Amino acid sequence: MEIQTIDWGNIDYAKAWNKQTLFFDELLLSKTNGTKYVNRIILCEHPHTYTLGRNGKQHNMLIDAMQLKRLDACYVQVDRGGDITYHGPGQLVCYPILNLEDFGLGLKDYIRLLEEVVIQVCNKYGVKAGRIKDATGVWIDGDTNNARKICAIGVRCSRFISMHGLAFNINTDLNYFNYINPCGFTNRGVSSLSNELCHDINMQEIKKILIDELYEQLRYKHL
């Protein structure tokens, strides 16, 4: 079993989605045919983009096309789970394209694993994070009236092959969340690691920490 880690840098959302889909289809075909394949973990950032999941509600997008243009942002309806979220510079996006059966995972366990990865990364920076019942993702002060989301998670899975993944706010401009009801919530806020720590985070450093933690959670040994 092999996992290949790829960093796409800053990449247009639609282009990344297309490239993800090619890898997803390739892995699905190889699994179906019983031929050799590679699991992949993609890291990237996106220009300002709002994405709406297949079960999302369009009314959670609070601005129109003209306002989007003024923000130099785009809006994309996608095939992942979840509602609306924002992607942009300073947000670490991770797209694992994996055969979950290689790791003994079902979909629910996989989503909890992604949450645990982010929780542990936050802990390494001295930020206590956790889960909220019936709300996917990772939260700060989740059991209080000041609950704020630091990482959104939305995946697509077919025959235990995954794509899409997590969007972890690191140095993200949180003002862009003001134009949506993030993940459909109207009574909970958002945060970023830099907002919690009051200083910017080195993106290359946190990419390595996140990948190491993801490998640890997958119980995958890499060089």
Asked if residue 146 is part of any domain, the answer here is: no
Contacts of residue 141, defined as CB under 8 A and 6 or more positions apart, other chains included, come to 147, 148
| Total count of domains within the chain | 1
- Please state, rounded to an integer, the average pLDDT across all residues of the chain: 94
d(CA 157, CA 196): 32
Q: 130 in a domain, yes or no?
A: no
Q: Is 44 a catalytic residue?
A: no
Task: State the pTM of this model.
Answer: 0.95
Instruction: Assess if residue 114 is contained within a domain.
Output: yes
Taking residues 145-149, what's their average pLDDT? 94
pLDDT at 205: 98
Q: Which of 44, 94, 122, 183 is catalytic?
A: 183
Please indicate, yes or no, if residue 212 is contained in any of the structural domains: yes
Q: Evaluate whether residue 137 is within a structural domain.
A: no
- The whole-number pLDDT of residue 55 equals 82
| Whole-number percent of the chain with pLDDT over 90 | 86
> How buried is 172 (Cβ within 10 angstroms: 0-12 exposed, 13-18 middle, 19+ buried)?
buried
Residue 147 lies in a domain: no
**Residue pair 139/129 in contact by the 8 Å Cβ criterion:** yes
| pLDDT score at 222 | 53
Mean pLDDT of 182-189: 79
Nearest-CA neighbor of 135 among 63, 189, 203, 69? 189
CA gap 67, 185 in Å, rounded: 21
Q: What are the helix and strand counts (H, E) for the chain?
A: 5, 11
Q: Quote the pLDDT of residue 117.
A: 98
- The model's pLDDT over 78-110, given as tens digits with 9 standing for 90+, comes to 989 888 999 999 999 999 999 999 999 999 999
- Give the chain's length: 223
Give a yes or no: residue 124 inside a domain: no
pLDDT at res. 127: 98
Domain hosting residue 31, numbered range: 3-118+154-186+202-218
Does residue 223 carry a pLDDT above 60? no
Q: What is the domain-level CATH number for residue 73?
A: 3.30.930.10
Whether residue 131 lies inside any domain: the answer is no
What contacts 211, CB < 8 A, 6 or more positions away? 5, 41, 43
Rounded distance, CA 24 to CA 220, Å?
A: 20
